[in-house]
């Protein structure tokens, strides 16, 4: 009886935690944008304030930044703004890594290589692992790396931020009809979820 009650409690807890944590993160974001908006516009409008204005302002700023970044002429301004982040030794490594990681998941144009989820399996091996192709061509890289006729596959680890990048022959990989976001999410939880994202 005690074991049965414990199982019911754990099921309820597991159903509650994702919703509670998601709502809490959203609450923190909304509270932060509201405080920011009030601090920015209160000097101009006084005590008049509409709840939710912070979300509208934050969304508008992000959309406006997206419009600017999409404009070809803005690249020079963006490069100038990135100078402090790309010249300081330690900051440069962190910023460049995060930027490259974000650009990999950004929407790609028709003339850019598509993001690809693959099943990696070495010949003669029964073990398979899901990975993300991060580089199809090594030309331009120094030394022996530039001569590789292979692909780079990122293998994300479950329950933590991290993973391994391996260079393997092209015939070791099989493309999977799955989005990068879905593959990363499934890898994060060690593929325990049986439900596939309908989108």
Q: Looking at residue 55, what is its pLDDT?
A: 78
In terms of Cβ atoms closer than 10 Å to its own Cβ (0-12, 13-18, 19+), residue 198 is exposed
Averaged pLDDT score across all residues of the chain: 78
Distance CA 159, CA 187 (A): 8
End-to-end CA distance of the chain: 41
**How many domains is the chain partitioned into structurally?**
2
Mean local confidence (pLDDT), 58-63: 81
Residue 91 belongs to a domain: no
pTM (two decimals): 0.50
Query: In the chain, what percentage of residues exceed pLDDT 90?
Result: 6
Residue 38 belongs to a domain: yes
Q: Looking at residue 121, what is its pLDDT?
A: 92
Q: Which of 64, 81, 98 is the last residue of a domain?
A: 81
In terms of Cβ atoms closer than 10 Å to its own Cβ (0-12, 13-18, 19+), residue 81 is exposed
Mean local confidence (pLDDT), 175-182: 84
pLDDT exceeds cutoff 60 at 110 = no
Between 21 and 99, name the one with better pLDDT: 21
Q: Looking at residue 90, what is its pLDDT?
A: 77
3-state SS assignment for residue 193: coil
Residue 101 belongs to a domain: no
pLDDT exceeds cutoff 60 at 176 = yes
Whether residues 68 and 132 fall in one domain = no
Residue 93 belongs to a domain: no
* pLDDT, tens digit, 9 for 90 and up, residues 111-167: 445 568 999 999 988 899 999 888 888 877 777 877 788 888 988 887 666 788 888
Predicted confidence band of residue 172 (pLDDT cuts 50, 70, 90): very high
Predicted confidence band of residue 19 (pLDDT cuts 50, 70, 90): confident
Query: Which domain, by its residues, includes 124?
Result: 116-188
pLDDT exceeds cutoff 80 at 175 = yes
């Amino acid at each position: 009886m005690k074991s049965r009650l414990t199982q019911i409690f754990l099921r309820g807890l597991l159903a509650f935690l994702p919703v509670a944590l998601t709502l809490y993160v959203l609450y923190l974001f909304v509270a932060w944008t509201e405080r920011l908006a009030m601090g920015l516009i209160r000097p101009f409008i006084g005590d008049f304030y509409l709840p939710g204005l912070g979300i509208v302002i934050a969304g508008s700023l992000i959309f406006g930044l997206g419009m600017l970044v999409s404009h070809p002429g803005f690249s020079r301004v963006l490069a100038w703004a990135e100078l402090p982040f790309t010249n300081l030794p330690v900051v440069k490594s962190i910023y460049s890594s995060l930027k490259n990681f974000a650009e990999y998941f950004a929407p790609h144009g028709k003339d850019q290589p598509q993001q690809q989820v693959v099943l990696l399996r070495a010949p003669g091996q029964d073990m398979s692992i899901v990975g993300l192709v991060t580089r199809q061509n090594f030309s331009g890289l120094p030394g022996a790396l530039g001569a590789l006729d292979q692909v780079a596959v990122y293998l994300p680890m479950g329950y933590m931020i991290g993973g391994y990048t391996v260079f393997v022959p092209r015939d070791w990989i099989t493309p999977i009809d799955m989005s990068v976001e879905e593959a990363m999410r499934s890898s994060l939880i060690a593929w325990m979820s049986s439900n596939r994202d309908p989108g």
